[in-house]
Amino acid sequence: MRAYVALGSNLGDSQQQLLDAIEALAGLPDTRLLARSRFYRTPPWGMLNQPDFLNAVVVLETPLLPHDLLDALLGIERDAGRERGGERWGPRTLDLDLLHVDGKTVSDERLTLPHPHLAERAFVLLPLSELSPDLEIPGRGRVVDLLRSVDTQGCEVLA
């Protein structure tokens, strides 16, 4: 399965957090990293009184089912020192969001695919459009078209 994962960090050495997370994602069982976006510095979303984020998106080829992949993402976050239970959309060492898995839709108490806020977030759509601009998000449209409808002001590509 092809899976799209968003990465974000705004605490500690954010660039290193993202690099370590990308390495951990590539090391998941029988999983291959197909592509990674450049890093983007983006303003916070939701809770505005916090440092800017570094964000990226990766594309994985993996046999892991969506819930198993979610569990792996949560484990990588924990290993990076992420503690859940704080303020929603608050600062974090690492945030990994499963955005989309080709051919899969899920809606339960643990996971919604495609990600319910994907179409609203420039910090997701910018790096995602770099990798897969024509990706069709079920019920929402193509990534390139979704990107046209969000405010990208304050977002800066780094490398």
Confidence of residue 91 (pLDDT cuts 50, 70, 90): confident
DSSP 3-55: EEEEEEE-SSSHHHHHHHHHHHHHTSTT-EEEEEPPPEEE--SSS-SSPPEEE
Question: Which two structure tokens, joined as six digits, stand for 114?
Answer: 């495609």
Give catalytic residues, as residue numbers. 82, 92, 95, 97
Neighbours of 65 (CB within 10 A): 13
In this prediction, residues 61-74 reach a mean pLDDT of: 97
Per-residue pLDDT reduced to its tens digit, 93-129: 899 999 999 999 999 999 999 999 999 999 999 999 9
Question: Which two structure tokens, joined as six digits, stand for 153?
Answer: 């002001």
Domain that holds residue 56: 2-157
What is the pTM for the complete model shown?
0.94
Residue 42: give its domain's CATH number. 3.30.70.560
For the chain, the residue count is: 159
Could you give the number of structural domains in the chain?
A: 1
